[in-house]
Amino acid sequence: MGLVLRDTTRHTCGDYLTWPEDVRHELIDGIAYLMAPAPTPRHQHFVGGI
């Protein structure tokens, strides 16, 4: 499974700092990728038991 692109534009760290904080992104070599939401505590509890 590949990472989901935010867009195809090259971005800088300065660009990244201006984006809203309610949507998580990861900036890799100028390309922005959408990040999955953080796991819930319930999910973490069950994963910890595995």
Tell me: the pLDDT tens digits for 1-50? Answer: 577 888 889 999 999 999 988 888 899 999 999 888 778 899 889 989 88
How far is Cα of residue 48 from the mean position of the Cα atoms in its chain? 23
Domain count of the fold of the chain: 1
Tokens of 48: 């910890």
Taking the model in full, what pTM does it have? Answer: 0.62
Enclosing domain of residue 24: 4-48
What is the 8-class DSSP label of residue 43? H
Q: Which residues of 24-42 are buried (b: 16+ CB within 10 A; e: fewer)?
A: ebebeeeebeeeeeeeeee
Question: What pLDDT shows up at residue 34?
Answer: 87
Name the residue among 11, 5, 10 with its Cα closest to residue 34. Answer: 5
